[in-house]
């Protein structure tokens, strides 16, 4: 009888502890802030650690399971490009990573995070092959855009500031060279064709991010 009572007690304790562990993990993700060292690894010093682009995007990349782009290339994929979009109006993160093999073919990974609070909960996570013809088209668009010589940040015209538009960050790693460009939608200019190419080949639906995400994390809300 005592053994039976002990078993019941252990089950009750586990049942009580389990949810708190889950809530603690959720709360940890909510409070996660990328360190200056991690930001430097992700963006190779091109984005200052105190900049909002660096802080927010490093958090998204980390929680969405991404590595610094400079750690991604290898013999099988000497060129890698990555797009991260903070959509509007709800800030849902969308990520596309394209790896290009030496033979000219490619592989694209597309991810959509649940929300800015829980980007690690992926509502979409897919991999697709990209043909050599499509890669050739993308690389031409990229060359025409002048990406590798673009300034990281746009020059702000205080008389023509567009508020509340999606934020686009585009990274590239090729032959040991890394570059990143951060723009609002209205300032993509010559880069627009290349980044929209990535969205198209990944078959991600940006329109789906205009629907308010259902946030069922009530236990986390209670802890805050």
Q: Indicate if 19 and 80 belong to the same structural domain.
A: no
Residue 24 predicted with pLDDT over 80:
no
Kindly state the average pLDDT of the residues 53-64: 97
Q: Is residue 221 part of a domain?
A: no
Rounded average pLDDT over 118-135: 96
Residues 81 and 183 in one domain: yes
pLDDT digits (tens, 9 = 90+) for 59-88: 999 999 999 999 887 777 789 999 999 999
Domain count, the chain: 2
Kindly report the CATH number assigned to the domain that includes residue 131. 3.30.1560
Return the pLDDT at 13.
34
Is the pTM above the cut of 0.95?
A: no
Q: Which domain holds residue 24?
A: 1-31
Q: Tell whether omega for the bond before 89 is within 30 degrees of 0, i.e. cis.
A: yes
Domain co-membership, 10 together with 83:
no
CB neighbours of 44 closer than 8 A, spacing ≥ 6? 68, 70, 178, 180
Q: Are residues 27 and 93 in the same domain?
A: no
Residue 57 belongs to some domain of the structure: no
Encode pLDDT of 131-150 as tens digits. Answer: 999 999 999 999 999 999 99
Q: Provide the 3-class DSSP secondary structure of residue 26.
A: helix
CA separation for the pair 206, 197 (Å, rounded): 13
- Cβ pair 80, 177 in contact under 8 A: no
Asked whether residue 223 is domain-assigned, the answer is no
How far apart are alpha carbons 90 and 142 in whole angstroms? 29
Those residues whose C-beta lies under 8 Å from the C-beta of residue 107, and which sit 6 or more positions away, are 77, 98, 99, 101, 127, 128, 129, 130
Q: Are strands 167-174 and 177-184 parallel, antiparallel or unpaired?
A: antiparallel
For residue 17, pLDDT over 80 is answered with no
């Amino acid at each position: 009888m005592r053994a039976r009572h002990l078993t019941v007690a252990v089950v009750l304790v586990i049942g009580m502890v389990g949810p708190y562990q889950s809530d603690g993990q959720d709360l940890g993700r909510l409070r996660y802030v990328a360190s200056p060292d991690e930001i430097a690894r992700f963006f190779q010093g091109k984005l200052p650690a105190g900049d909002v682009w660096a802080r927010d995007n490093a958090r998204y990349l980390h929680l969405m399971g991404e590595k610094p782009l400079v750690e991604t290339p290898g013999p099988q994929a000497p060129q890698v490009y990555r797009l991260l979009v903070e959509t509007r109006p709800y800030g849902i993160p969308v990520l596309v990573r394209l790896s290009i093999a030496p033979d000219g073919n490619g592989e694209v990974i597309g991810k959509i995070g649940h929300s800015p609070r829980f980007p690690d909960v992926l509502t979409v996570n897919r991999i697709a092959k990209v043909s050599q013809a499509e890669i050739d088209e993308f690389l031409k668009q990229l060359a025409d855009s002048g990406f590798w010589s673009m300034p990281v940040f746009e020059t702000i015209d205080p008389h023509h500031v567009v508020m509340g538009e999606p934020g686009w960050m585009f990274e590239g790693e090729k032959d040991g060279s890394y570059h990143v460009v951060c723009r609002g939608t209205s300032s993509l200019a010559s880069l627009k064709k290349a980044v929209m190419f990535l969205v198209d080949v990944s078959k991600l639906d940006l329109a789906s991010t205009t629907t308010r995400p259902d946030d069922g994390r009530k236990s986390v809300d209670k802890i805050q």
